Amino acid sequence: MAVHTQPLYAIKAELFKALAHPARLQVLEVLAADPGLTAPVARLLEATGAEPSALSQHLAVLKRAGVVDSTRTGNVVDYRLTEPLVAELLVVARAFLLTRLAETATPAQLDAARHLPALPGATAGAVLDAAEALFEDASR
């Protein structure tokens, strides 16, 4: 008898839908870069440049997906990743991105990649160095 795995793929697809926005990915990378996997809303606003109402909507999507949760202390709301595995997913996604960029990146794109926040499990520099090596090979 075949195991019916379709519902599991549907759940995974919902997770990827929740991640499918640049501002949400940026929020997650800011959280992943923090040793406690947490950041106050003010830092998230500064990092993303989003309007407060737009950031609130993005955070709600991530919260509904179970990727982040929040705590309030007085007037300060802190968000945190619910699982360190999310940070690992971001490292893998960044490595994939930089590998793909290495094939077609402009110097400006590589420079922008240098300014991404460091993620646990792989420094942006180490991943970028690997991508630059590929970029150099591709340009020969």
pLDDT in tens, 98-111: 888 777 888 888 88
**Judging by beta carbons within 10 Å of its beta carbon (0-12, 13-18, 19+), is residue 32 exposed, middle or buried?**
buried
Identify the pLDDT of residue 130: 56
Q: What is the mean pLDDT of residues 87-99?
A: 85
pLDDT classification of 2: cutoffs 50, 70, 90: low
140 compared with 87, residue with greater pLDDT: 87
- In this predicted structure, the answer to whether residue 123 has a pLDDT above a threshold of 70 is no
Q: How far is CA 94 from CA 6, 63, 91, in A?
A: 27, 22, 5
130 compared with 72, residue with greater pLDDT: 72
The Cα angle at residue 67 between residues 117 and 126, in degrees rounded to 5:
25
pLDDT classification of 96: cutoffs 50, 70, 90: confident
Q: Answer for the pair 47, 53: CB distance below 8 angstroms, yes or no.
A: no
pLDDT classification of 132: cutoffs 50, 70, 90: low
Question: Hey, what amino acid is at 87?
Answer: A
- Global pTM value: 0.78
Identify the pLDDT of residue 136: 65
- All structural domains of the chain, each given as residue ranges with its CATH number in brackets, are 7-138 (1.10.10.10)
Whether the CA torsion 124, 88, 10, 39 is positive or negative: it is negative
Distance, in Å, from the CA atom of 64 to the CA atom of 60, rounded to the nearest integer, reads 6
Q: Answer for the pair 71, 82: CB distance below 8 angstroms, yes or no.
A: no
- In this predicted structure, the answer to whether residue 24 has a pLDDT above a threshold of 70 is yes
Segment 26-82, tens digit of pLDDT: 999 999 999 899 999 999 999 999 999 999 999 999 999 999 999 999 999 999 999
